[in-house]
Amino acid sequence: MKSFFISLIGLSLILTSCSTGNSEHIADEFHKKLDAGEIDDIVNVLFDDVDTTPQDKVEFKSFLQGIVDMGEQKNRKKKMGFEKKISNGISTVKYKYTFEVDGELIHERIVLVEREEGYKILMVAMHPDESYVEDFTEQY
């Protein structure tokens, strides 16, 4: 019985990591495009446009341009693990990163939402104060 229970835990962990694997790929793609300054690709391809207005896209694009304009992002590190939530049948995954711009440590949270066509970026928060990004993304 004990080995059966351990097998179920192992299977559960495998299924969870498989179902979020594509989300991590989207987060990686986001960072590659951000580093390359490909803001339009991020907004038009990776950004979730369900329940968003054209103004939301304009604001997200402006936010990303501000990040690019800050300077080169160096030493990006993904913090261990992720947070996955399911609410009203909608799955979200949140990843935590840090990076440096001109020697200043910036904390980042990227929240992805699972849609029929795959994971999309729901929101991104970046700020030197980690409590700010935590508070901003707490509901996800």
Q: State the Cα–Cα distance between residues 37 and 40, nearest whole angstrom.
A: 9
Q: In the chain, what are the domains?
A: 2-137 (3.10.450.50)
pLDDT at 93: 95
pLDDT tier for residue 15 given thresholds of 50, 70 and 90 = very low
pTM of the model: 0.81
Determine if residue 7 is left, alpha or beta; phi over 0 gives left, psi from -120 to 50 gives alpha, anything else beta.
alpha
Residues 70-106: pLDDT tens digits?
A: 999 999 999 988 889 898 889 999 999 999 999 999 9
CA 107 to mean position of chain CA atoms: 12
pLDDT at 88: 87
pLDDT at 105: 96
How many Cβ atoms sit within 10 Å of the Cβ of residue 55?
8
User: Which candidate, 57, 82, 100, 55, places its Cα nearest to that of 137?
Assistant: 82
